[in-house]
A and B are shown apart, each in its own frame.
Chain A
Amino acid sequence: MEKILTKKSFPAWVKKLQSYTVYSPEKQENLWSYEVIQNPDKLNLEHLNTVLAPKKITYPQREIFLQFNTSKEGKPQIKEVLPEEHPAVIFGVRPCDAKAITLTDKVFGEEPKDPYYWSRRNQTILVGLTCNPPPSPNCFCLSVGGSPHSKEGLDILMTDMGDKYHIDSLTKKGEKLIKAAENLFKPASSKDKKELEKIQRESEKKIKREVKDIKNIPDKLKDMFESPFWDEEAMSCIRCGICTYLCPTCFCFDITDELTSTLPLKGKRVRTWDTCQFPDFTMHSSGHNPRPDKASRLRQRMLHKFQYHVENYQDYLCTGCGRCISLCPMGIDIIEILNKVREHE
């Protein structure tokens, strides 16, 4: 269903969505971040890439699995803590971040399904925004099977057309949102549709960076496991967690018990994001570590994204958002590494 919404009417639409928690990109000092809208009149969809992807809403950095305590009879008991009712709408989702959500959907949706992830995911409606121009100088979505106007994972795709938005409703959830303020929308004319195609073509031309011949890379990586290539590339890594925590597709997590008191027993079991780049990620209790150095951990990150995930799910675990490139403190560039892999003997 294709509709047109004037920019002037946009706040009015948002105001009709009171039964949802509405998120949108907001500028906090110098950085953009998805936050709950305080004032729909001040909505701004001209954002650059946010630091944290919208995955922080569907898959927050910390969530409680269960609570445990001692019952009156002195027996330990466990109480499941599922996420609260939280119907949410996120505006301004970049197509790369939406595609990333479909990738984590596949992982957490595989049997056995993850109930915590899905209880949030099922309640979240993603409203995307065509990237024109690309929000980051390091975007490369076209190289990994995405595009600045891709519809994957979105319920609605909005395209900025100057004084109005083209609204493409893609799912039942999206239609429901539009019905909430039906009178604000006009059907899209054939002129609008032609304009849309023009914008889509233009948006693709503006993506500057690319990884050539990415199709050959999974096989190339298979032969490079023992190569000293990784020692060279990882030398400037400082083993922080920036690349993985900001990545919209990364999903590795840790489960820890947080004890409030021992007698009587009281505490929670929580899930938090974790990263394969920390040295203790794979460390056994015995002290043995299958990935004791930065080279093996960088190799794990690259191989997981561009070989193992492809073998398991036929998809690259990367959507080309460019955050890891923009924010790596030491200038490690995933595109350059992939290009070097392609050239590697």
Chain B
Amino acid sequence: MNENIYIPKLAKIIKIKEEVSGSRPIKTFRTQFIEKNSFSHQCGQCAMLSVLGKGESMISISSSPLEKDFLQFSILKMGRVTSALHETEVGETIGIRGPYGNNFPIENWKGKNLIFIGGGIGLAPIWSVLHTALKKKEDYGKLTLIYGARTSKDLVFKEELEKLNKKMNVHLSVDVEEKDWKEYVGFVPQNVTDKKPSPDNSISITCGPPIMIKFVIKALEELGFKDGQIYTTVENKMKCGIGKCGRCNIGKHYICKDGPVYSWAELKTLPQEY
């Protein structure tokens, strides 16, 4: 490949949706490359988004690979680059390079029940798998989503979640009691224990704050899920995205290259340094 892997491709922002407002805002961006290219990704992969002059940030691609018209990213405003992204408007140009990382081995999950468990912004990385599975529903077993956030205002993809109810089992939750909230009240791991997904012929994919992942894995193990049936994503500070700058490693793995998708069986073997 003669392409220079450090040069981002320019893309236009075609749509911005404010998912969550307040002190920890989340916006969803849809982008289209200015020049046609061969960018194609798989579920779970990420891309480096550039705001020229500010820097780059590695964001997971939340649109399905089957979606050819745009790439979708959901971004939590956290620091310099993400703040700059939040200040962009439709029509502005950003840089994208990628796709980076490994992917959810969705081919191996054909015929299995898929249980998606997300917390807060963590729904974004698994959104791509969820929609790919939905589009090919006949290939997979029962599809379930267990998703929660601090308050109902912090849930992402709220409009799509309402439509999702008709196509698969959706169990939502918020951390504390709220007026007009009819569904489960409690943390996501507690909701998992409450809804008792069966481990038979199932794969569970979980993503969210590290502490939520820790307790979700525990809850799943108590329900009888084996290590190889639990998948998650790991994040680390990244700069090059291709396993060369030495920054994002956990043990001998570079998360930008050998991750971010890991089964719990594999993640257990790495040093617990993340």
Touch A–B, Cβ below 8 Å: yes
Which residues of chain B have C-beta atoms less than 8 A from A253's C-beta? Answer: 239-240, 244-246
* Residue A41 at the chain B interface, CB threshold 8 Å: no
**Interface hit among B49-57, B106-114, B159-167:** B49-57
User: Which residues on the A side are within 8 Å of B56 (C-beta)?
Assistant: 255
Q: A78-B8, A115-B4 are in contact. Are A290 and B239 (CB under 8 A)?
A: no
Supposing A75-B93, A78-B52 touch, asked if A285 and B7 sit within 8 A by C-beta, the answer is no
Interfacial chain B residues near A146, Cβ < 8 Å: none
Q: Mark A239-255, 1 if CB is under 8 A from B, else 0.
A: 00000000000011111
Interface of B, secondary structure class, is: loop
Q: Which of B122-130, B183-191, B247-255 contacts A (4 or more CB under 8 A)?
A: B247-255
Contact B252 A308 (CB under 8 A): yes
Interface size on A, residues (CB 8 A): 49
Other-chain residue from A75, A115, A252, A308 in contact with B247 (beta carbon distance below 8 A): A252
Partner of A76, one of B52, B244, B248: B52
Q: Across the interface, do A107 and B252 meet the contact criterion of CB distance under 8 Å? A: no
Within 251-274 of B, Cβ neighbours of A (below 8 Å) are at 251-252, 271, 273-274
A130 to B56, CA, bound (A): 44
Q: Contacts of B274 on A, CB cut-off 8 Å? A: 290
Q: Is the CB of B273 within 8 A of A66?
A: no
> Which residue from chain B places its CB closest to the CB of A310 in the assembled complex?
B252
Asked if residues A251 and B52 are in contact (CB atoms below 8 Å), the reply is no
Q: Cβ of A262 and Cβ of B53 under 8 Å apart?
A: yes
Q: Are A112 and B242 in contact, CB atoms less than 8 angstroms apart?
A: yes
- How many chain B residues have a CB neighbour from A under 8 Å? 37
Pick the most buried of B10, B237, B250: most chain A CB atoms within 10 A of its CB: B237
Q: Chain A interface secondary structure, helix, strand, loop or mixed? A: mixed
Which of B1, B82, B240, B271 is packed against the most chain A CB atoms within 10 Å? Answer: B271
Tell whether A107 pairs with B79 under 8 Å between CB atoms, given A68-B53, A312-B252: no
Contact across chains for B93 and A255 when beta carbons are under 8 A apart: no
Whether a CB of chain B sits under 8 angstroms from the CB of A267 is yes
Q: Counting CB contacts under 8 A, is B90 at the interface?
A: no
Decide if B95 is an interface residue (CB 8 Å cutoff). yes
Shortest beta-carbon distance, B247 to chain A, in Å? 6
B236 adjacent to chain A (CB < 8 Å):
yes
Q: Are A114 and B244 in contact (CB under 8 A)?
A: yes
A92 to B271, CA, bound (A): 41
Q: Does A274 contact B (CB under 8 A)?
A: yes
Q: B7–A65 contact, CB under 8 A?
A: yes
Question: Which 3 A-B residue pairs are closest in the complex by CB-CB distance?
Answer: A285-B79, A252-B246, A308-B252
19 contacts across the A-B interface (CB closer than 8 A) = A66-B7, A68-B53, A76-B52, A78-B7, A78-B8, A78-B10, A111-B1, A114-B244, A225-B273, A254-B245, A255-B245, A269-B6, A274-B245, A284-B236, A284-B237, A285-B78, A290-B236, A296-B273, A309-B252
Measured CB to CB, the residues of B under 8 A from A are 1, 4-8, 10, 52-56, 78-80, 82, 93, 95, 235-237, 239-240, 242-252, 271, 273-274
Given A114-B244, A115-B4, 8 further pairs, Cβ under 8 A: A116-B6, A257-B55, A259-B53, A274-B246, A281-B237, A282-B247, A307-B252, A308-B251
